[in-house]
Structure 1
């Protein structure tokens, strides 16, 4: 029933055991700093140390800030560029001694929201936007994920959208909630013109304060805050690992009594 989910970010690596049937954490969430520089060797060691805090013999799912294809990182967003071309899944499997499956971090968060959160039961086109240091995106149609969309790198105002409308930019430029909300709303408007989603789900820690910036949006689609928030990446990564490895209940990692 329990799979270790890990969310690798630019500043922190978070992990917890997840009941993948209910989409709930069944252990304390552990957070450690992301190594600087975040090279493959350093991150693999950090993931090994984090995994060692759990009584686990089974698969591990990892959300990773990159385009991932067949376990290999094809880009590097908020992580060392030395990861590009490396097999992330193989590196983490070797470090932990457990089978690992890796996917884009925003896709992991999107899976959690669609199965257990604000997107549950939605059958139209849904775009999950994770708002943090950057802007992550996960796109679904009929509940099916289109992986690695990376719309946070969509060009806006002479650069990437995440350099214009992320929560990190709001803090750096000391923008008011209203002014920043208009920026994020412009990004959503661009996505609406391209994709015509029925629903936007806004995730990340900032979603707790959605009432401060949602009123600045001018889009036709429904917009709702995420429900899983900072747990989404962990839960989605664990679910991905459980399915990708076709793991049955008795083979999943378990918490000691």
Structure 2
């Protein structure tokens, strides 16, 4: 199967071995066009798929709420995505069967199946830290879709404006300063949902030693995503396999 992960800064994809839950070829990534209009991003998705000569079903993740193939929000891409039949547009452009789903939900499903959440019951929250903060909420292994916990208000701001990787980079924060912000965000989410486990994903999951030891006072277990930044691609391919 094949998965494509649309992010605020990059569009990446690869064929996936669903027996192993791993990429079966090195991923191909391009920069997300700016502005990230539907037409330009969909052209980018086409470029990624064309790179591999893929001709089967495709799963595509999107950084926002997705309901029945329609994109409802667009926090880190162009507002033209709001209310768009993304599945229809992608299907027309690619000429392939397509499924579209929230990016963090895809990553979470992959982690619950093949990674850090495998076999875990109770309440598990996957947080993808990147341009924004994506979230996936699971109760006894069942996904509650489109939670968008990155937009919880924290000290008068969207949480992702304070605690995302982009915020750390834009403000040139030290790991310690950023970990302090992230801890405040995790404490807020924990107060609301009392999870048993936080899984931290996104590219920063490759560097857990830089920040996880600096986070204290959270009751839930906190672990890095095992599939790291490939989780969204794997989850997208899992969704494509159901077409």
So what's the TM-score if we normalise by structure 2? Answer: 0.96
Give the whole-Å Cα distance in 1 for the aligned partners of 2:3 and 2:226. Answer: 18
Q: CA deviation at 1:28?
A: 2.0
The answer as to 2:235 corresponding to 1:241 is no
The answer as to 2:223 corresponding to 1:230 is no
Residue matched to 1:134: 132
1:113 is aligned, of 111, 114, 120, to: 111
Residue matched to 1:255: none
The answer as to 2:147 corresponding to 1:145 is no
The answer as to 2:21 corresponding to 1:17 is no
Residue matched to 2:177: 179
Give the whole-Å Cα distance in 2 for the aligned partners of 1:133 and 1:55. Answer: 29
So what's the TM-score if we normalise by structure 1? Answer: 0.91
Tell me the secondary structure at the aligned position of residue 220 of structure 1. coil
Range with greater deviation from structure 2 (70-79 or 208-217) = 208-217
How many residues matched? 242
Contact 1:157 1:164 in 2 (8 A): no
Give the whole-Å Cα distance in 2 for the aligned partners of 1:211 and 1:46. Answer: 33
The answer as to 2:109 corresponding to 1:95 is no
Unaligned runs of 5+ in 2: none
Q: CA deviation at 1:52?
A: 1.4
Give the whole-Å Cα distance in 1 for the aligned partners of 2:169 and 2:55. Answer: 41
Give the whole-Å Cα distance in 2 for the aligned partners of 1:213 and 1:45. Answer: 36
Range with greater deviation from structure 2 (220-229 or 36-45) = 36-45
Deviations 1:11-62 (A, max 9, x none): 1110100112221111221011212221111112221222112232221001
Contact 2:7 2:131 in 1 (8 A): no
